[in-house]
Structure 1
Amino acid sequence: MSEEDGSVPDGRPRLSLDGGVTDPVSVGQPTRTVSASDVDLTDSSLYLNRELSELAFHERVLHEAIDDRNPVLERVKFLSILTSNLDEFFMKRVGGLKQQIDAGVTELSPDGRTPNEQWRLVLDRARDLLDQQSACYHELVHPALADAGIHLVEYDELTEDAQVALRDYFEASVLPTLTPLTFDPTHPFPFISNLSLSLAVLTRERDDDSLKFSRVKVPGNRPRLVRVADHVEADAQGETSGEGTDEREGEQFVPLARVIEANLDLLFPNVEIVDTSLFRVTRNAEVRRNEEVAEGLIDTIEDVLRQRRFATVVRVEVEDSTPKRVCDLLVEQLSLSPEELFERDGPLDYTGLTPLLDLPRPDLALDNWRPQPHPRFAGLTADEPGELFAEIARKDVLVHHPYHSFTGTVGRFLEAASNDPHVLAIKAAIYRTAPDSEVIETLIEAAKNGIQVAVMVELKARFDEENNLRWVRRLEEEGIHVAYGTLGLKTHSKTALVVREESDGVRLYSHVATGNYHSQTAKLYTDLGLFTADPDVGHDLVRLFNYFTGHSRHDTYRKLLVAPTNLREEMTRLVRREAENARDGKPARIVAKLNALEDPEMIRELYKASMAGVEIDLVVRGICRLRPGIEGISENITISSVVGRFLEHSRIYYFENEGDPEYYLGSADWMVRNLDRRVEAVTPVEDPELRVELEAVLDALLSDNRKRWVMDSEGRYEQLRPGDAEAVEAHRVLMDRALAATHRAELLGDVDDD
C-alpha cells in the first residue's frame, strides 16, 4: 500500500490501545461471505474497551504536542489540552469505575472486563500517557521554546537581582493570599480542593527533631507564570542557558509555585524548612442524587455541587522528588490505593502554560483564523430583521462553525427574532453556554420587547451546572419561562424555534444543530446547524418544547429523529435498509461522522451491514468500541479519527439509499446514553445544495492525509503521512472553502463586517 493512494503506509509506528509502539498489522483480508447467523456478535472479542479507547484518543491529542511539524505554541496548547482531558477522564470515568468497585459491581463490560480489571488497566495506561507528556515537554517542547527565546526557568537560574525583585513581588502580592495549613495533633489534615496545585512543606522547629507537614495552596487567582521582565529591568535578567540573549530572546518566565517555594521562609519564619514538593489532587465528579426523591432539581444540582467538592479522591500527582513520608501521608490521609499515586517529572499541571499562547509571537503559532460571514446572511442588515427570515423561508441555510461566524449566523438569527415586532415567541434549548452569554442576553432582550420566551436550560450538564444555575436565576428574574430538564434524562438537543406572524399566517423558523449555543467554543469546535422554515420540522420542535415545559412525551414526529422516542429505531432501520440493498445488489454505503461509537446494539447492526456487503466509513473523533477489518465480519468498515487545530464535534449521517442519498445532522452520537438516556434531536437535510456541502465536509475528512488516523482491527491507530503526495488537511481545506465563499460574496457586494 502506498502513501499516494491515501491508504495506511506500512512500517510506521502506531498508537495502540495495548500501549506503546507496535508493528503494523495487515487488516485488508480477502472478503468472504459470512452470514450474521454464523457469528456470535455478542462475543466480547468483537468489542474494544471504552475507557482504553478514550485514552487512545488522548494519545492522539498528545501526538499534536510531539509533532514538530506544528509550531511550538500549538504544541504547548495540546499539552494543556491533554491535562484538561485527563483531568475530566479521571473525574468522570475513573471516578465511575471506582464507584462501581466500591458498590461490588462485577458485571462485565461488552469487551468482557470487570470494573476492577478496567480500573487497573486504565491506571497503568494513564500513567504511561502522563510519563509521555512529561517526556514530550522536557525533551521536545521546552528546548523548542528556549530556541525561540521563551525561557521557562527555575528560580535558582535567575540572577541575584531578578531573585530580589521577585521576592519583593512575592511579599507584596502573593504572600498575603497564602494560608499555610499544618497537620499535627492539634490540627486535622487539611481539605485539599479538586485540581488545586499545592506545596507539601516539611518543617522542623528548633530543639525539636519531629517533622511537621503543611499544605500551601498555590493561588489560582494569581498568574501561574511570572514574567520576569514585569518585575526587573531587562538588563538584570542575565543569561539563561550558557549564552547571552537579546531583549526578545531573554524573555524569562518562572512558575509561580517556584517563586512561592523559594520564599517560604517569609511564610514559615523561625523554623527550618526541610523539604518542599508539589502535589495535585483529582476528585470524583460522579456524584448523584435521586431526582425522584429530591425536593427540586435546583436543590439536587446544588447538593451535587457541594458533594463533588468533598468527593472521593481518585488520583494524586506528586513530583518524583517527593519524600516517601509525604507520599505515604497523602495515601493514608486521602484514603488512596498506592496505584492512585502518580509520581511525575513536573510540571504537574500543563494548563499553567496557557499564558504563553497570548504572547505576540505569530511566528510560533498557527495563522490566526477569523470565522467568516455566511454568504446567505452577510448582506443582511440588523435594522431589517424580516430580511433574515425571508432568506430562510426562501431556502434552507447550512452553517458550519468555526468556518462560519457564530455571531453572524446563530447570534444574528436570535437577535433578529428578539427585535422583530412580528415575532410572537422564541424557544431555545441550552445545554452549555458561555459565562457572559450574548445568547442569554438576547433572549432577555426579546422578553423585554414583549416576545414570549421559553428556555430549556439543562442543569445536569456536567461541569456547567453552576454556570447554568446562574443563568436560570437571571432568566427567571426577567419573567422568562424556564424549564430545568426532564426527570431521568438529560436534554442534550441543540434546538431553537422562532414563531413569527406573517401575511399568510404563522410561520415557524427552526434551528437544529450539533453544537451548543456557546460563542466561545464555536470558535474552537467544528459544528453544523440547519436553519429551515420547513413546517414539519417546526411542528416537531413545537412538540419537543412542549415536552420540555410540560410533562407528556410525544410518540411520533414528522421528520425529526428524537431520542429516546424514535432515534434508535430510525437509525437501526436506516442501517438495515442499506444491508438489504447490498444483499439485493443495489448501491449501499454508510458514512457516519460522530464523536463516539459505543452502543453495542448499533455496532452489531454495523457488523451485520458489513457482512451484507455495505461499504461503511466511520469518522469517529474519540471513543470507538467497534473493531474494523475483521475477516468476514468488518472488513468493509474503516475507522478514521481527525485530530487537529479544531475539535471535531459535528455529527453527520449519510445513507446511500439506492443512489438517492439521505443526510442527517444533530446532537446525538451512537452511544447508549445518547440513544436511550438523553433527549436528542437529529434532522434530515433535504436541500440538494446543502447535501453537496455536507458531502464536501465528509470528503475533506476522508481525504485528509496529514491529521487523520486510521484504526486497525486491534484498535491501533496510525496517522497518515502525505509522503511525496500533496498534503491534504481537512481543517485547512474547509477554511479555504469558507474564504473562497466570502470572496465570491464580496465580488457580488454582499458581505458586511460582523
Structure 2
Amino acid sequence: MPKSKKAAHQINLNDPQYYLNRELSWLEFNKRVLHEACDSRTPLLERLKFLAIWSSNLDEFFMVRVAALKQQVEAKVSLLASDCRTPEQQLDEISSMLRPLVAKEHEQFEKVLRPQLAEHGINILDYIDLTQKQRNYLDKYYEEQIFPVVTPLAVDPSHPFPYISNLSLNLAVVVKNPETQEELFARVKVPTVLPRFLALPPDLGIQDNGKPAVWTGVPLEQAIAHNLESLFPGMNIQEYHTFRITRDGDLALKEDDADDLLLAIEQELRKRRVGGDALRLEIHSQTPESIRKRLLEDLELEENDVYEVDGILGLKDMMYFMSLPVPELKDQPWQAVVHPRLQRIKEPNLNPDAREIEEGKDFFTVIREKDLFVHHPYQSFSSSVVNFIAHAAHDRNVLAIKMTLYRTSFESPIVNALIAAAENGKQVSVLVELKARFDEENNIYWAKRLESVGVHVVYGLVGLKTHCKIVMVVRREQDRISRYVHIGTGNYNHKTARLYTDLGLFSCNEELGADVTDVFNFLTGYSRQKSYRKLLVAPVTMRDRFLSLIQREIENVHNGLTGRIVAKMNSLVDPEIICHLYEASRAGVQIDLIVRGICCLRPGLKDISENIRVISIVGRFLEHSRIFYFHNNGQEEIYIGSADWMRRNLDRRVEVITPILDADIAKDLQEILGIMLADNRQAWELQPDGSYIQRRPGEEVPEASSQKILMSMALNSNAN
C-alpha cells in the first residue's frame, strides 16, 4: 500500500546521507571505462582505446573538477557538497580512490595489453630492448628529425625554473660538469609537434617467426632520453626522469566585464594553452627523492598531488594505435543506415535555374507527411541532419535558417551548408556558443567564418550557456509560411555522431515551430518569454515542469493508480529533482533511471528509494541521448532533448526538451528504453553505497547488449 502523505514527511529527504558525492560518482564512471580496458571480452585494440579514454577523462577531471576544489580550499570557502563533504575532504578522498586505479591502469597496459599486442605484431618497445640496427636507425632519425626541434632548458641562478605547460611530457635531467664536478639540473620538453610514437621501417620490425610486424617502434621521449649527450655536449649525463604535469584548464571569464565576448574568450584561450596553477605531477616510481622534491617545490605542489607510475606516462596517446590496419583486433565496423523514410530523398538542387526532374521526395515533403525520428549512430546523421540543412540551403522556397551550434567538427559539412545558404540569399542566423568547454577555439573559427559571408552570428547570453540543439527552417509554401524544426539531444558534429548515441526529431508541428521561434527570439533579442506551448525550456519552465510531472505520478499512486517513471540521461545531480524522486519512490512510484555518468541519488535505501533502480551503460558508443518517460495513468508522455537533471542544465543553461507527439515515435522510444533496461552485457547496477556491479548473463540466459540489439534492429529496418 502507498504510504500516507503524513508518513512521507517523517523523514528529511534533504539529509546529506541520502546523496552521493558528485566527484566520487564521476570517478566511479571512469572506473567503469577502465573496466572496459581490462575486460577480455572486448577486442584488444578497443581495450587500448578505453585505456586512452580513461586517461583523457582523468586529465579533464583534474583540469576542471580538481581545479575548482583546490580554488575553494585556497579561497577558504566552506562550500559543502550535497553530501556535506568539504572541499578538503573531497580532495583527500579523490586521491585515495584514484591511486589504486592509476596503478591498475598502468599494470593493465604494461603486464597485459603490451604483451598481448606484441603477440599480434604490435611491438611498443623500450629503447633498451632495441637491436643495434634498430638503434642505429633511430639515432640517425633523431639527429635529422628530432634534435633540431628539442630545446634543453638549464635551471640555475641565472636560469629560473621554466614554466611547464599543461599536459606536457618532460625530462628532468641531471648533468655533471667534468671540470668542476658540479651537478646541474635541466628540463627537456618532449615536443608535441612530433609523433608521440616513432615507428621503425618494416624491414627492422621482423618478428621472431620471420614475419613482418604490424608496427614496431618506441615512445618519442625514450629516443630523446638516449641521445641527451647531443643536447649537453661536454657534460656527463648523470640521470634523467620523465614527468608530466596537469594544470587548471578552465576558463576564468568574467562575462559582465567583457565588452567583446569573442575577444575575451580568445584572450582566455591563450592563457589555457600554457595552463593555470599546477594540480598534478605524474612521475615514475623510481624517481629519486631529490628530483621529486625539486619538482614539487618549483611547481608549488604537495606530496598528495604526486601520482607515481610504473611505465609509459600519458596513456591517452595510445589512441594513436587505433589507426593500425588490424580489423580483427577492433570492433566490427559499423556503417550507419539511412532511415527508411529518407532512402528516396532526392539530392538538393544545386542549380536554382534547372528543372527538378530527380525521382523521389524532397526532405520537407517527408516531414509534412509525418514527424520523423532518427537514432544515431544506428541511423545516419549525414543523411538526416546534414541533408536537412543542405536541402534548406539550396531550396528556392526556403527563406531563413536558424540554428544553435554548441560543438561542431573542424571540417563541418553543416557549417558549409549554412555558408552556402547565406551565399544563396537565405536569411541565416546562428547562435555559436563560445563557452563550450574545450571547443571554444573551434567555435571562434566558425563564428568568424560565418560572419564573413553575411550570417548573423550571436555569441550566447551573458551568464547562460546555450546548450540546446535546435534548427528551424522557414519555408514559403503556396500562400503560407511553414516552419520545419529539428530538436535533438546531441551536438551538430558529424564526427562525434558516429560515436555518440543521440536522438533527433524533425517536425513541422505549428506549436513546436512557434515555440522554437520564441526560443530563438529569446537567444538573439530581448525576449522575456515566460511560457511555451509544448517545449520545456531552461532556465524558464523546465525545472517546474519536470517537478510537476514527477508530482503527477505521486498523486496518481495516492489515488490508487499506477505510477511509473523511466529517465535516461548523462548525469543526475540536482538535489531538488532527487528529493522529488525520493518522494515518488516512497509513494510507490516505480522508477528506472539510466544514467551514464554521475548519479548522486542513492537507490535501494529502505523507506527512501526502495522503488528506484539505476543502471549505467558503458559500451562501444558513448550514451548521450536524454529520454524522459512518465506513465500518466496510461496516457504516456515521453520527452527528448538536450538537458540532464543537473543544476547547470536546469538553471544556468538554455536547454530545450520536446514532447513526442507522434504515437508511433513514442512507442519506438519506449522500446529503446526497454532494450536498455534489459541489457546484461554493458549495464552496471548502482548500489546504495555508490559502487556499481556489472550485470553478467547467466549460463542459460543469452547475452543482451543493448547497443548490439539496436544495431541489428537498424539493419533489419533498412532491409525491410
Does the aligned pair in 1 maintain the 2:376–2:503 contact within 8 Å? yes
d(CA) in 2 for partners of 1:529, 1:407: 12
Say whether the 8 Å CA contact 1:31–1:635 is kept in structure 2: no
Q: CA RMSD in A?
A: 1.5
Q: Give 3-state SS (helix, strand or coil) of 1:416's partner.
A: helix
Counterpart of 1:186 (choices 158, 161, 181) is: 158
Counterpart of 2:314 in structure 1 is 349
Contact 2:69 2:91 in 1 (8 A): yes
Deviation at 1:249, TM superposition (A): 4.5
Once the two structures are superposed, the pairs formed by residues 115-134 of structure 1 within 5 Å of their partners are 115-134=87-106
Q: Does 562-571 or 122-131 show the bigger shift?
A: 122-131
What SS does structure 1 have at the residue aligned with 2:142?
helix
Most deviating of 174-183 and 650-659 = 174-183
Q: Given the alignment, which residue of 594, 601, 612 partners 1:637?
A: 612
SS class of match (2:50): helix
> 1:638-674 CA deviation, whole Å, 9 max, x = no partner?
0000000000000000000101111100000000000
Q: Does the CA contact (< 8 Å) of 2:249 and 2:275 recur in 1?
A: no
2:256 is matched with which residue: 279, 292, 309? Answer: 292
What is the correspondence of 1:122-271 to structure 2 with a 5 Å cutoff? Answer: 122-229=94-201, 233-234=203-204, 237=205, 244-249=208-213, 251-271=215-235
TM-score, normalising length: structure 1: 0.92
Give 1:305-704 correspondences, 5 Å limit. Answer: 305-308=269-272, 309-383=274-348, 387-704=362-679
Q: Deviations over 1:350-378 (max 9, x none)?
A: 12222211111111111011111111112
Query: Whole-Å Cα distance in 2 between the matches of residues 31 and 664 of structure 1?
Result: 27
CA distance in 2, matches of 1:151, 1:656: 55
Q: Following TM superposition, by how much is the alpha carbon of 1:432 offset from its aligned partner in structure 2, in angstroms?
A: 0.5
**Is the partner of 1:429 in helix, strand or coil?**
strand
- Once residues 538 and 326 of structure 1 are traced to their aligned partners in structure 2, the CA distance between those partners, rounded to angstroms, is 64
- SS of structure 2 residue aligned to 1:292: helix
Contact 2:110 2:311 in 1 (8 A): no
Change in CA separation of 1:31 and 1:157 when aligned onto 2, cut-off 3 Å:
farther
| 1:40 counterpart letter in structure 2 | N
Structure 2 residue 32 is matched with structure 1 residue 56 = no
Q: Is the 8 A contact 1:225 1:353 kept in 2?
A: no
State the TM-score, normalizing by the size of structure 2: 0.96
Contact residue 467 and residue 654 of structure 2 kept, 8 A = yes
Q: Which stretch of structure 1 is more off in the superposition, 251-260 or 626-635? A: 251-260
Given that 1:152 and 1:254 are in contact with CA atoms closer than 8 Å, whether structure 2 keeps it comes out as yes
Structure 2: distance between partners of 1:44 and 1:353: 40
Deviates more, 1:208-217 or 1:51-60: 208-217
Assess if the C-alpha contact under 8 Å between 2:16 and 2:83 holds in 1: yes
What's 1:749 paired with? none
Q: State the AA in 2 paired with 1:338.
A: E
State the SS of the aligned residue for 2:634: coil
Report the secondary structure of 1:689's partner residue. helix
Change (3 A) 1:383 1:291: closer
Task: Kindly indicate whether the alpha-carbon contact (under 8 Å) linking 1:32 and 1:632 is maintained by their aligned counterparts in 2.
Answer: no
Q: Are the equivalent residues in 1 in contact too, given 2:469–2:490 (CA < 8 A)?
A: yes
Aligned residues: 707
Q: Is the 8 A contact 1:33 1:632 kept in 2?
A: no
CA distance in 2, matches of 1:250, 1:737: 35
Change (3 A) 1:214 1:396: same
Residue 737 of structure 1 pairs with residue 713 of structure 2? yes
Report if aligned partners of 1:620, 1:640 keep a CA contact under 8 Å in 2.
Answer: yes
Deviation at 1:213, TM superposition (A): 2.0
Contact 1:199 1:215 in 2 (8 A): yes
Equivalent-residue separation in structure 1 for 2:101 and 2:526 (angstroms): 46
Identical amino acids, percent of aligned pairs: 46
Which stretch shifts more, 336-345 or 46-55? 336-345
- Which structure would you say has the larger RCO, counting Cα contacts within 8 Å and 6 or more residues apart? 1
- Please state whether the residue corresponding to 1:146 is helix, strand or coil: helix
Unaligned 5+ segments in structure 1 are 1-29, 745-754
For residues 507 and 544 of structure 2, what CA distance do their matches in structure 1 show?
24
Q: Does structure 1 conserve the Cα–Cα contact (< 8 Å) formed by 2:206 and 2:213? A: no
* Residue 348 (structure 1) shift: 1.4
Unaligned 5+ segments in structure 2 are 350-355
Alpha-carbon offset, residue 248 of structure 1? 3.9
Matched to 1:363, the amino acid is E
- Shift in CA distance, 487/246, structure 1 to aligned 2, threshold 3 Å: same
The answer to whether the Cα contact below 8 Å between 2:3 and 2:588 also exists between their aligned partners in 1 is no
3-state SS of 1:176 partner = coil
